[in-house]
Structure 1
Amino acid sequence: MSLITILLNIFLPPVAVVLQHGVGGKFLISIILTLIGWLPGVIHAFYVNS
C-alpha cells in the first residue's frame, strides 16, 4: 500500500475506494459508512484496500 493510498484512506475514504475498485457496491458502502461517521469509513477503506 502506497503512502498516497494511506493518506486517502485517512482523509477521503470514498475516494480511496473508488480509485482502487471503481464505482460499485464497495464505493456505496464506503460513502454510507463515511456519512454515518468518519471512523467507520476509514476502517472500511483500509479493509477493502489492503
Structure 2
Amino acid sequence: MSILTIILNILFPPIAVFMKHGLGSTFLINVLLTLVGWIPGVIHAFIVND
C-alpha cells in the first residue's frame, strides 16, 4: 500500500476505494459508511484496499 493510498484512506475514503475498485458496490458501501460516520468509512477503505 502506497503512502498516497494511506493518506486517501484516512482523508477521503470513497476516493481511495474508487481509485482501486471503480464505481461498484464496494464504492457505494463505502460512501454510505462514510456518510453514517467517518470512522466506519476509513475502516472499510483500509480493509478493501489492503
Q: TM-score range by the shorter chain?
A: over 0.9
What number of residue pairs does the alignment pair up? Answer: 50
1:7 aligns with 2:7: yes
CA distance in 2: counterparts of 1:9 and 1:39, whole angstroms: 10
Unaligned runs of 5+ in 2: none
Unaligned runs of 5+ in 1: none
- Paired residues for 1:1-50 under 5 Å: 1-50=1-50
Identity of aligned residues (%): 62
Aligned-residue offset at 1:34:
0.1
SS at match of 1:23: coil
| Deviations, residues 17-38 of structure 1 (Å, cap 9, x unaligned) | 0000100000000000000000
CA distance in 1: counterparts of 2:17 and 2:36, whole angstroms: 17
Q: Which runs of 4+ in 1 moved over 3 A?
A: none
CA distance in 2: counterparts of 1:28 and 1:21, whole angstroms: 11
| CA RMSD, 1 decimal | 0.2
CA distance in 2: counterparts of 1:15 and 1:25, whole angstroms: 14
> Given the two structures, how large is their TM-score scaled by the length of structure 1?
0.99
